Homo-oligomer: A and B are copies of this chain.
C-alpha cells in the first residue's frame, strides 16, 4: 500500500546515527528501534558503557538487526571519518558555538548533504549531552524545540524526533489511507436532494413558501462530506421510510 521510493531509501541509508558514550544499554536498543521505524539503519557507538547487552536487545524489539550491524569505535573522530557532514544534536545552550538551527531545518540540510556522501547525526551521553569539544567536531548544531522549563528529552526520544524529521525531509511522508468506496455521481446527488426536499416538505419541516436556507445548508454539508454511491442509497432508504410513515399518518388522520 505504501512503499518508500528507491530514492528515499537511498537517502536514509546514507544517514549514520552516532551515539557518544551511552550509559544505559537499554537506550541504545530504544534508539535502534526509533531509527528503524523511520528507515535509518546505520548505528555507530562511540565508547558505549555496556554493549552488547541484553537490555539493548530487549528495548530494540523488532529492530535487533540494527544492533547486529552496529559499529563500535573508540573516538568520535573515528565515527565521523568519511562523512560529508556531521550534525550534532544539542539542547544545551552554550556561550561558544557555530550555527544552531531547529532540527527540522537541520534535517533538511542533512538530507541535502547526502548527495555528497554520508551524513552523521551525533547524540551525546544521557546526562549531559555532547561536550563542547564533541559539538565542535560537528559543522552544524541541531536543537529540538522544547519546553524551556523541562527540556530533558530521553535519548531515544531525541533520536526518534530527529529520524522522523529526516524521513520527512527525504520525502517519505506517506501514511496509510482507508480505501475509498465509489463516489456518488452528480445525478445521484441531485436525486437525493430533490427527494430530501419533497420529504422534508411532506414532514412539514420545510415550508416551500418560506424555504429559508435549509436546502443550501444540507447541500453544503453533503458536498463537504463527499458522498459515496452506497451512502446515497442509505440516505434515500431513510427518506423512503419517512415517506411511508408520513403517508400512513395522512391515511389514519
Contact = CB atoms under 8 A, between A and B. Distances in A.
A152 B37 contact: yes
A217 to B, nearest CB: 20
Contacts of A144: 164, 175
21 contacts: A1-B93, A1-B148, A3-B148, A4-B147, A30-B157, A33-B154, A34-B153, A37-B152, A39-B147, A91-B175, A93-B176, A95-B178, A95-B179, A100-B176, A143-B175, A144-B175, A145-B167, A145-B168, A145-B175, A146-B167, A160-B160
Interface of A: 1-4, 30, 33-34, 36-39, 61-63, 91-98, 100-104, 143-148, 150-154, 156-157, 160-161, 164, 167-168, 172-179
A38 B96 CA distance: 26
A175 B100 contact: yes
A153 B164 CA distance: 11
Given A157-B156, A168-B104, A37 B147 contact: yes
Contacts of A146: 37-38, 167
